[in-house]
Amino acid sequence: MAGSNIRRKKLATSNRISAYLLHHLQSLMFSLRKIYAAPATTIMTVAVIGITLSLPGGFYLFLKNIDAISGDFRSSSQISLFLDLELSEKQARALDKKISKMELVDSTRFISRDKSLEEFRQDSGFGKSIDTLSSNPLPHTIIVEPGEADTFAVRNLLNSLQAMPEVKIAKLDTEWLERLYTIIEIARRSVVIITVLFSCAVLLIIGNTIRLDIQNRYQEIIVTKLIGATDAFIRRPFLYGGVWYGLLGGIISWLIVEIGYLAISGPLGRLNLLYKSDMNLITFSFHDFIILITSSTLLGLAGSWIAVARHLNQIEPT
């Protein structure tokens, strides 16, 4: 007797759970059907969300590309050593060998005075006028590749190289790099601000759409409350509606950004051809895509939650 009671209770609970899941599924399908039934409204809302989110998305991608390019620069920070003019080529080459064996040094490249002049003659286009010079004004040069990209280590290396008597000038051109980093940092913070602002905009858009939706279904809410629907039951289809708006808006914003980058990649290819460079545009990674979609979906849920919390409780039958 007791056993059968317990069994019955268990059955009732599992029934209840499956009924609960069933209602979630029904709410999901219901909100989907509503989207399908009113495509114009849905498309407008979703498009606005998509466009709004594409701005922070695009900006983020831009930053990611700049970051990648600057990363290339970072790893190629070189030190140029201009040697004393009195130094013979033999002495200079000996110094080059010595430096290349130094601890913090990855590799070195020696450019003799004659070679420097030759390169300058070719690159500058001043060939004729250089020929009139009585002596070569250029020193022997050693290009040093530091072993580590770490700024501190590179600075140390620079100082010890500068201290060598044979070295007239040791030059590390980091100023513009630091400037670039500052600009990137500014851009990074701008992305954060833009993302926050535009997320708020999406929250408001979705909140407002759901609010209108609630108003349109005023009668239905009243009737379901009168026959014993819980707040959670009434809330559910609206929350799913917000989730759909967020999800679809996220996908649209992703498409917009991808298409935008496709449009940019054409001219970039030509640029690469011209400069024999090898710049590749980075688009959203799978990871980025998941983050974008998840956050837009969560924004949809949050927006509809706000609308529901503010407006659903106010509707009471009289």
Q: Which residues bind another protein (CB under 8 A)?
A: 15-16, 18-20, 22-23, 26, 219-220, 222-231, 233, 317-318
Give 168 or 225: the residue with its C-beta nearer to another protein: 225
With contact defined as beta carbons under 8 Å apart, do 202 and 53 qualify? Answer: yes
3-state secondary structure of 79: strand
Cα–Cα dist 218/127, whole Å: 85
Cα–Cα dist 201/2, whole Å: 58
**Tokens 């640029």, residue?**
271
Cα–Cα dist 50/255, whole Å: 9
Q: What one-letter code names the amino acid at 245?
A: Y
**Tokens 């990855």, residue?**
106
With contact defined as beta carbons under 8 Å apart, do 176 and 163 qualify? Answer: no
Residue 190 is encoded by which pair of tokens? 């701008």
